[in-house]
Structure 1
Amino acid sequence: MASALTDKLSRLVKNLSGQARITESNVTDMLREVRMALLEADVALPVVRDFIARVKDKALGQEVIGSLKPGQALVGIVNKELAATMGQGVSDINLAVQPPAVILMAGLQGAGKTTTTAKLAKHLIEKRKKKVLTVSGDVYRPAAIEQLKTVTAQAGAEWFPSSADQKPIDIARAAIDYARKHHFDVLLVDTAGRLAIDEALMAEIKALHAELKPVETLFVVDAMQGQDAANTARAFGDALPLTGIVLTKLDGDSRGGAALSVRQITGVPIKFAGTSEKIDGLEVFDAERHAGRVLGMGDIVALVEQVTAGVDIEAAQKLAAKVKSGGGFDLNDFLAQIQQMKQMGGLSSLMDKLPSQLTAKAGAMDMGKVEKDIGRKQGIIHSMTPQERKKPELIKATRKRRIAAGAGVQVQDVNRMLKEFEQMQDMMKKMSGGGMMKMMKRMGAMKGMMGGGGFPGMPR
């Protein structure tokens, strides 16, 4: 997270945590800084006023004054009230109805509604084990219908065809009839969006809502819009009985403003957050964990979930057994570790979930450059013959020139990659005894708790 809001609040958290004495004066100074940071992040003014009032009331109470570590107690209050502003904990979607459970997706054009529909389909298939059907009612943009078809296939769901010459009501009726006859658990209905709110859009979506009687009506809104996002959500909330909000593009630079405003202004919980452009880039929104991210405390739970979900535990166990038996660590294994890292969403995605004090040095690095370097390593290994990957000691000057030419890099890049490989190989040799197997057992225990495996590039 690189937003100005997080940078400012995390600095305040660091300064406050060590304070042994809290007075009305330093609380006032701190809240002035918080107020400015929130307003600059485009948080709505009424939300800022309410938040500051709640924090001040509790900060000057016995909870902080009587604490052995008042600075930390004050940070705890800020964290708690941030979470309260965005909603408490997790608000999951409701599927407790006679199938198919209909979920209506609403929002303006460009908010990411169609992609979010497919992301939600993937989430329901993988996390809730549901059979999902999607359909587009956007008869004004044929490209949107084709887009939904494409992203639905990527999500592993089924797509119901519709066309520009049909009426949205007729499409909805046909889709729900098909969903019933073919025993789908969930029907996701992607509706038409406009560049701005207008009466025709609202009338159409109201009619669709009346026809479908959805169990969930989710408003998809672009978090990059800041305060505008909250205002748009309020307008849709006045027209429709919204049950939840999906914030897209939460990985953007202005992260924080919309998330802090939209819940309080609409009274509707944030249920999901789009965290990347990838089809699996959708998270169940947890207000407490997001508050920790905003304050620069990171989200270690999400980090562990991401790592354990991305690691192939069987491959990790095979590698551990291979190294222990003296089979060695070759370039094929090195390539597999690189691919594991990419499978977990890349370095920038992992760094985003670490506390700010741990990523301070890394913040100076160009993560884009680091990711590019990882891709370059893959290209170099792919330019090698199978024999060279198994026996890196064969790679001398002539072979290095050929590999560099094949990968479109310099010989120095090949040398650098081989040096890194040798360093990891030495580490693997040192871990080839009981230490590796003990680590494997620990990672196995983590798999049991979290449903995943170990960390890439490390023995598991």
Structure 2
Amino acid sequence: MAFESLTERLQDAMKKLRRKGKITESDVREMMREIRLALLEADVNFNVVKDFTKRVSDRAVGSEVLDTLTSAQQIVKIVDEELTATLGQEAVPLNKSPKIPTVIMVSGLQGAGKTTFVGKLANFLKKNNDARPLLIAGDVYRPAAIEQLKVIGQQIDVPVFDMGTDVSPVEIVRQGMALAQEQKNDYVFIDTAGRLHIDDVLMNELKEIKELATPDEILLVVDAMTGQDAVNVAESFNEQLSITGVVVTKLDGDTRGGAALSIRAVTGKPIKFVGTGEKLTDIEVFHPDRMSGRILGMGDMLTLIEKAQQDYDEQKAEELALKMQENTFDFNDFIEQFDQLQNMGSFEDIIKMIPGMNNIPGMDKVQIDPKDIERKKAMVYSMTPEERVNPDLLNPSRRRRIAAGSGNSVVQVNQMIKQFKESKKMMQQMSSGKMPAGMDQMFGGGVKGKMGKMAFNQMARKQQNAKKKALRKKRKKKR
């Protein structure tokens, strides 16, 4: 998982600070040493580390912070603010052309994930902006590149323009642009060739494409797993092409995260998107403040809610709200909830987006086995249709039958039924706008705690709106 090692080290440094009643300059120096080591181990650029720790130290020691009763909280706030500033301060949107099409040229070294990212971003814009993109296959050197882009295009239902491998990439782009004008596509993505290393032939070709297409965006795709090499690549491409933004892929596989922390500070170019997995939906807008919260273990409720809104079907949300209202939530809905959560990503990542979860002892060690979900599904599928709709029918003999039919023990079946009842109770509380017992303590204090509570309230309002909408539809049908 992204930043795992860095998060662990920084959280340890912060915990030591919080245990102290009054903080001295010596405590701050010790914390700065821990942070410096943590950042260097995460493969963050040395100059970036040096500047970051100096800024934090100057603000912590050179103000009234140490004389206050909440000095530990204030220093954590300073670290959060400076980390956000290092990452870029705020999200930077895609450049948009005043006239169609908006042209996005995607560049990077071979293996960084350019072609997959083209599909992810086209799919993202199509879902969120009702965009009509055209993908241009400009990589004629890697045999499978064109075929890969075509397969991705089919998966997301977006057209791909190609002319095979015997035509120059510049001519392919020329004719692809003409087609986009004719079809009135509002976005054009140019998938360019990569190399294993930077050379003059590659750069000259990219410069020709840039001159012809005059792209609104030149996005450089870098692999987070390559660490400091990613920063060096970004510097080289920026010097030659004047890139407008960076995309960091495979962030889910890098436990250090040094590339993401260094690129903005070294190149001055914003990180616009991050790739968080292999699926074509695994893409996120890069929000520096939210990423800082994740790194410091403060959670990221806003991204969690956005993911839920993106992956959750509105019609199903209305149906679920009605079931909550009528108290008819059953095992079929329970399984559907698991499916929806699995679409949002790994449970470990979801848990870490909830503010305060890192403060619960043992929560950092929690690992949810996907096989456990399948076992629960097997138990439900071993029930009769009547039992799924009416859990009160599940007497001991029926539970023994379900255990035998699903290859589980009776104890496991009992645990699953208990989990179902707890889930039903919690969802009923949330659907009525109430915060489930104990959840308010998870959000903690300070700015991040307030953001977590605000985010919950926003989610609760959406639940209530969905419930009202579902009830209105039901009344209309009765009429």
Q: Which residue of structure 2 aligns with residue 351 of structure 1?
A: 351
Instruction: Provide, for residues 266-314 of structure 1, a one-character-per-residue CA deviation record: whole Å limited to 9, x for no partner.
Output: 1111111111222111111111111111112121221222234333454
Q: Which amino acid counterpart does residue 338 of structure 1 have in structure 2?
A: F
TM-score with structure 1 length normalisation? Answer: 0.87
Alignment of 1:175-190 (within 5 A): 175-190=176-191
Gaps in structure 1 of 5+ consecutive residues: 405-409, 455-460
With 302-311 and 183-192 compared, the bigger mean Cα shift is at 302-311
Q: CA deviation at 1:391?
A: 5.5
For 2:281 and 2:197, how far apart are their aligned partners in 1? Answer: 28
SS in 2 for 1:99: coil
SS in 2 for 1:218: strand
With 371-380 and 118-127 compared, the bigger mean Cα shift is at 371-380
Maintained 8 Å contact 1:116/1:274: yes
In angstroms, what is the RMSD of aligned CA positions? 3.0
Alignment of 1:225-240 (within 5 A): 225-240=226-241
Q: Which residue of structure 2 aligns with residue 407 of structure 1?
A: none
1:421 aligns with 2:417: yes
Change over 3 Å in CA distance of 1:361–1:307 after alignment to 2: farther
Alignment of 1:6-405 (within 5 A): 6-17=7-18, 19-65=20-66, 67-322=68-323, 325=326, 328-355=328-355, 357-358=358-359, 360-367=361-368, 369=369, 371-382=370-381, 386-387=385-386, 389-390=388-389, 393=393, 396=398, 400=402, 403-404=405-406
For 1:324 and 1:447, how far apart are their aligned partners in 2? Answer: 14
Maintained 8 Å contact 1:19/1:69: no
SS in 2 for 1:254: coil
Change over 3 Å in CA distance of 1:242–1:345 after alignment to 2: same
Maintained 8 Å contact 1:309/1:451: no
Maintained 8 Å contact 1:308/1:451: no
1:438 aligns with 2:432: yes
SS in 1 for 2:279: coil
Number of aligned positions between the proteins: 443
Maintained 8 Å contact 1:320/1:436: no
Maintained 8 Å contact 2:248/2:260: yes
SS in 2 for 1:251: helix
For 1:437 and 1:304, how far apart are their aligned partners in 2? Answer: 15
Q: Which residue of structure 2 aligns with residue 457 of structure 1?
A: none
Q: CA deviation at 1:50?
A: 1.3
Q: CA deviation at 1:66?
A: 5.1
Aligned-pair identity (%): 42
Maintained 8 Å contact 2:321/2:431: yes
Change over 3 Å in CA distance of 1:49–1:317 after alignment to 2: same
Q: Which amino acid counterpart does residue 372 of structure 1 have in structure 2?
A: K
Change over 3 Å in CA distance of 1:402–1:24 after alignment to 2: closer
SS in 2 for 1:202: helix
Q: CA deviation at 1:88?
A: 1.3
Q: CA deviation at 1:222?
A: 0.7
Q: Which amino acid counterpart does residue 92 of structure 2 have in structure 1?
A: S
Maintained 8 Å contact 2:224/2:254: no
Maintained 8 Å contact 1:381/1:389: yes
Change over 3 Å in CA distance of 1:343–1:65 after alignment to 2: same
With 232-241 and 291-300 compared, the bigger mean Cα shift is at 291-300
SS in 1 for 2:188: strand
Instruction: Provide, for residues 139-186 of structure 1, a one-character-per-residue CA deviation record: whole Å limited to 9, x for no partner.
Output: 011311111112223233222233111110011011110110001111
Q: Which residue of structure 1 aligns with residue 470 of structure 2?
A: none
Q: Which amino acid counterpart does residue 339 of structure 1 have in structure 2?
A: D
For 1:120 and 1:359, how far apart are their aligned partners in 2? Answer: 36
TM-score with structure 2 length normalisation? Answer: 0.83
Change over 3 Å in CA distance of 1:382–1:174 after alignment to 2: farther
